[in-house]
Structure 1
Amino acid sequence: MTIDRRTLLKTAAAGASAAALPWSGAARAQGAANTIKIGVLNDQSGLYRDISGPTSVACVRQAIQDLAGRGNLNVEVISADHQNKPDVGSNIARQWFDRDGVDVIVDVPTSSVALAVAGVVREKNKVYLNSTAATADLTGSACSPNTVHWTYDTYMLAKSTGGAMVKAGGDTWFFLTADYAFGHALERDTANFVRNAGGRVVGQVRTPFPGTTDFSSFLVQAQASRAKVIGLANAGGDTINCVKQAAEFGITRRGTKLAALLMFINDVHGMGLQTAQGLVCTETFYWDLNDRTRAFTNKVRGGLGGNMPAMSHAGCYASVLHYLKAAADMGAQAAKASGTDAVARMKAMPTDDDCFGQGRIREDGRKIHPAYLFEVKKPEESKGPWDYYKLLQTTAADEAFRPVAEGGCPLVRS
């Protein structure tokens, strides 16, 4: 397949008239026994909407289209907004399983919600494909035989972005940390890498989540610490606001570096290159990384309403694609009967998709693939819409994530 990069750059920001729809063929006549129901549970209206939301739903639908006709499956998709609240998320999950016949839950940003949903999925013996929560506990102390954690986690982000900053001379850190499970885990993991590399953590402040928009007082505390690096242990709208307000205060002009420990291309788009230029971040997918990522983007972009797929969206696509391959091989009824068996089949099969290439799922549920350290381009370096990253370094798949023996997952054999 020939990918026209110039065409992608020119049209990436354009919307489309219709989204991809789940396929529905002769298998529907066989009834509910062969119908797999997927629930996309995420932030549809809050600060994580652009990195999850409707774009995740569109990517799940694309995966279903790409597996159309395989295994005589019929697949339906529903979605809901968990409002970044663990009680809301777990209640929706329970209702989906008990009343609506959902077999698989996908996406689920916000680590506190992700951990709550994981417990419900295990109780009901369903399948949980998490793409957008970052806590490494999902494959550590809170691991489950029903969970696959696909895209990224706090350990990988800390190792790639945090480790690179220390090597570049940023040996004193102050953390601005979102006050919930994700922020705590990202600060913890990054601080460990900083200290192991000979650096120091000189301070931290916990910012209320959700709802904080004014980070000025927190940034003043960070600047007063004289740390060389301010680590942003947050995501989505929080990261955007922190970077914008730091620029307004001239913090980076005085030599302090900002480490965006979890940043997405959609965040860069929201900030603009003038503000985001020079920021370093880690992603496991970038639309312009290679021919396969461009091919995926070319397929899905028409249904995104002007958004572009980030690694979180790519993880929704790839995880559902792999699950459906496993379900087709074992049969819909068997896949529906036991989430544990379906996840075991996913782990036994090598993964391969246009977003992440070839990979595998470890016994702790961690999906393994490379991690890429990017620097945001200067405005004059960008050749068109969404041409925002230049690659600095690649961490190989077997080195990017926490060693399986160090996570404390009960599923791992000693």
Structure 2
Amino acid sequence: MKRVNLAASLLAGTLLFQGLPAKAADQTVKLGVLTDMSGVFSDANGKGSVIAAEMAKADVGPIEGFKVEVVGADHQNKPDIGSSIARKWFDTEGVDVVLDIPVSSIALAVQRIAQEKDKIVLLSSSGASEITGKFCSENTIQWTYNTSALSNVAGRATVKRGDDSWFFITTDYAFGHALERDATEAVTASGGKVVGRALNPIGSPDFSSYLLTAQGSGAKVVALASSGGDMQTAVKQAAEFGLQASGQKLLGLLFDVTDIKGLGLEVTQGMYLSTPFYWDRNAESRAFSERFKKLHGKVPTMHQAGVYSATRHYLNAIKAAATKDTKAVLAKMRETPVNDVFAQNGRIRRDGQMIHDFFLVEVKKPSESKGEWDYYNVISTVPGDQAFQPETNCPRLAGQ
């Protein structure tokens, strides 16, 4: 055995002496999926986001000179915990990129750390439009949606269809106000009008007074500027009040396929939603979603599909650039169109926003659904350049 080791050592030394380096050990590319594993966003994100990243890793395949590892963690919807995990990942665990991050306040905290450490953040589940505005970072890409796109698509497309008067029921926190602000701009810019609003505290158990005010307003659209439990409670009670049966349209500004699954079509039928992804959109999305469902038991949400797309684009950039250097990888990501199950001809703007098409959908009636998860009728496609806000208010773009 000693003779073999000695021979191997002599061979390596000879190769180096002759200018032929021995094969170096593969570098590790480590992806950290920072998500909500047990709270209100765990259905839309959670373990499914980790599975989506693993699927993208498998689809990209081997990358010469690198081995790829995916890890996940629960930020418990708390900025201090999310920040602590991200800092540990960067400082001691070799994580190169952080993905997903539901809750914008956590995303902004992690973004600051990533900028300091020269790491990458790919956001699939943080919606604040300011992330690519006044808080933009050259190391962050907002991949799936933001409040501006959700609101812009819903506002412009519904007004165009004749639903031109709106009433907002808004959860009284930063995200709710951002949704209402952006939707108001879209509605009024399209020739519609906002006839009233009502603010509900976070975690409201009773929306009756807000719904009665909305019904009394005569608005054609009652828009819910909220998410999670508040959105679900409002939708359920709106059905009990017969809001849509009376002729008004209910619109959820951030509502996903898993929310419909939880509430049922009897409650959600007829609602308008805006989304960048629907699992049953075409043959490619159905094939991807069937694979995902076998692993997770559910079809992918827009957030999970976004994690898949961002992970795949990132790994393909490393493969093309033959390096995991942050600046080189980001440059390759920006110069390469995004073409996958999530986006066709998507592009990454200088401010870090990935631009792609959105859809306005209407939730099917129970009689229209052909089976489990068959929930949407796509009624309008909005091109990415019309869906997202213009490239403005990004300090790092000044002078470029």
Q: Which range, TM-score by smaller chain?
A: 0.7 to 0.9
Aligned to 1:164: 157
CA contact (8 A) 1:143 1:411 kept: no
Aligned to 1:410: 396
Aligned to 2:335: 348
Shift, 1:69, TM fit:
1.1
After TM superposition, the structure 1 stretch with the greater mean CA deviation from structure 2, 38-47 or 213-222, is 213-222
Aligned to 1:70: 63
Task: Label 1:187 to 1:244 Cα distance change in 2 as closer, same or farther (>3 A).
Answer: same
1:319 to 307, 310, 313: 310
Shift, 1:397, TM fit:
2.9
**RMSD, aligned α-carbons:** 2.2
**C-alpha distance in 1 between matches for 2:65 and 2:228:** 39
Task: Label 1:217 to 1:341 Cα distance change in 2 as closer, same or farther (>3 A).
Answer: farther
The answer to whether the aligner puts 1:329 opposite 2:316 as a matched pair is no
Aligned to 1:114: 107
Aligned to 1:272: 264
Aligned to 1:9: none
CA contact (8 A) 2:35 2:45 kept: yes
**C-alpha distance in 1 between matches for 2:78 and 2:171:** 14
CA contact (8 A) 2:321 2:328 kept: no
**C-alpha distance in 2 between matches for 1:364 and 1:323:** 17
Task: Label 1:78 to 1:389 Cα distance change in 2 as closer, same or farther (>3 A).
Answer: same
Give the paired residue count.
378
Q: Deviations over 1:210-251 (max 9, x none)?
A: x44443344344345444322111223332221111111222
CA contact (8 A) 2:204 2:230 kept: yes
Shift, 1:107, TM fit:
0.4
Identity in percent = 46
Alignment map for 1:36-115 (pairs within 5 Å): 36-115=29-108
1:366 to 353, 373, 385: 353
After TM superposition, the structure 1 stretch with the greater mean CA deviation from structure 2, 320-329 or 173-182, is 173-182
1:310 to 289, 301, 306: 301
Greater than 4 Å deviation, 4+ residue runs = none
CA contact (8 A) 1:59 1:300 kept: yes
Task: Label 1:168 to 1:128 Cα distance change in 2 as closer, same or farther (>3 A).
Answer: same
Aligned to 1:199: 192
**C-alpha distance in 1 between matches for 2:286 and 2:398:** 36
CA contact (8 A) 1:64 1:75 kept: yes
Aligned to 1:222: 214
Aligned to 2:3: none
**C-alpha distance in 2 between matches for 1:317 and 1:69:** 17
Query: For structure 2, which runs of at least 5 residues remain unmatched after alignment?
Result: 1-22
Q: Deviations over 1:236-271 (max 9, x none)?
A: 333222111111122222333211112211111111
Task: Label 1:112 to 1:213 Cα distance change in 2 as closer, same or farther (>3 A).
Answer: farther
Task: Label 1:104 to 1:206 Cα distance change in 2 as closer, same or farther (>3 A).
Answer: farther
Higher RCO (Cα < 8 Å, 6 or more apart):
1
CA contact (8 A) 1:162 1:259 kept: no
TM-score by length of 2: 0.88
Shift, 1:66, TM fit:
1.0
**C-alpha distance in 2 between matches for 1:376 and 1:400:** 20
Q: SS of the residue aligned with 2:163?
A: coil
**C-alpha distance in 2 between matches for 1:372 and 1:412:** 32
